[in-house]
């Protein structure tokens, strides 16, 4: 597989790679399995003050990123992207980011991620790029962040760990939460007894069939109790 690329269009390029320089993602960067670069939105402001935002029509509070500046930054990102990128805009109103989308993105040439800030981005530039380049609005959760950068880091980490040769035990990827439509079952390691709590006997049995059944039962129980929304979908999918 060719090098997977991520280009982040942002007002805060120094936030990258940030946490992505560590752990699995960081090792992937060192091994050149993937690459990240930033496009500084402020570099595309045409005036001497490098103005990137202005007040909102409608007298709403806060500042809005200007469409001409954001458009120029996105054009630059696309022009210098090696391959066909998936264009994303991190926003609370977007499609919920879930594991199937992470897997889909990890199998592409890579992503260009627009990170909004202040009170948002002028709707016209979002509409234009959605219409002409298939820009997808994506949300990492039902809460408000100061900007799209932290959300972008979350998305990139989820995608990068799915790239070939990032996770050494490929089988573990197929048994994780959400790939199985269930939350993860409990995990244990040595010592066998800790603070008077013993590892479940079935896990010590060596009977792989019984272990698999126990893990499935625990995953179902945890999902049913903690995420009834996921449990409902699981029942619909699995009868």
Give the residue-averaged pLDDT of 47-51. 95
CA atoms within 13 A of residue 174's CA, in its CB half-sphere: 4
The CATH H-level superfamily of 175-238 is: tRNA(m1g37)methyltransferase, domain 2 (1.10.1270.20)
What is the C-alpha to C-alpha distance for residues 114 and 128, in angstroms, rounded to an integer? 14
Give yes or no on whether 4-160 and 175-238 have one common fold: no
Q: Which CATH class is domain 4-160?
A: alpha beta
Strands ordered across the beta sheet of 136-139: 34-40, 4-10, 110-115, 86-96, 136-139
Coil, helix or strand at residue 1: coil
φ/ψ of 111, rounded to 5, equals -135, 150
Task: Using pLDDT thresholds of 50, 70 and 90, give the confidence band for residue 68.
Answer: very high
pLDDT in tens, 161-218: 999 999 875 655 555 555 568 999 999 999 999 999 999 999 999 999 999 999 999 9
pTM above 0.95, yes or no: no
Domain definitions of the chain by residue range: 4-160, 175-238
Q: Comparing C-alpha atoms, which of 194, 193, 215 is closest to residue 203? A: 215
Compute CA distances 76 → 41, 79, 215, 220, whole Å: 10, 5, 49, 47
Q: Which pLDDT band, with edges at 50, 70 and 90, does 1 fall under?
A: low
């Amino acid at each position: 597989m060719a090098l997977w690329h991520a280009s982040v269009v942002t007002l805060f390029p120094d936030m990258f790679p940030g946490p992505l320089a560590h752990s699995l993602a960081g090792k992937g960067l060192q091994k050149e399995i993937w690459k990240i670069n930033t496009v500084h939105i402020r570099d595309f402001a045409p005036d001497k003050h490098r103005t990137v935002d202005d007040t909102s029509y409608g007298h709403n509070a806060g500042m809005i990123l200007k469409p001409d500046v954001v458009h120029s930054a996105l054009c630059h990102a696309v022009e210098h992207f090696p391959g066909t990128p998936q264009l994303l805009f991190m926003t609370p109103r977007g499609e919920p980011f879930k594991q199937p989308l992470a897997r889909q993105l990890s199998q592409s040439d890579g992503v260009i991620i627009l990170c909004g800030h202040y009170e948002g981005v002028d709707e016209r530039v979002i509409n234009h790029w959605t219409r002409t380049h298939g820009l997808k609005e994506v949300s990492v959760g039902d809460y408000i962040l100061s900007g799209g950068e932290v959300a972008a880091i979350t998305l990139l980490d989820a995608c990068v760990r799915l790239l070939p040769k990032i996770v050494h035990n490929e089988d573990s990827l197929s048994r994780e939460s959400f790939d199985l439509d269930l939350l993860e079952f409990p995990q244990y390691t040595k010592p066998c007894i800790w603070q008077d709590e013993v590892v479940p006997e079935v896990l010590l049995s060596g009977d792989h069939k019984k272990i698999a059944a126990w893990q499935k039962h625990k995953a179902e129980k945890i999902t049913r109790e903690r995420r009834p929304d996921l449990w409902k979908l699981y029942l619909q999918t699995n009868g």
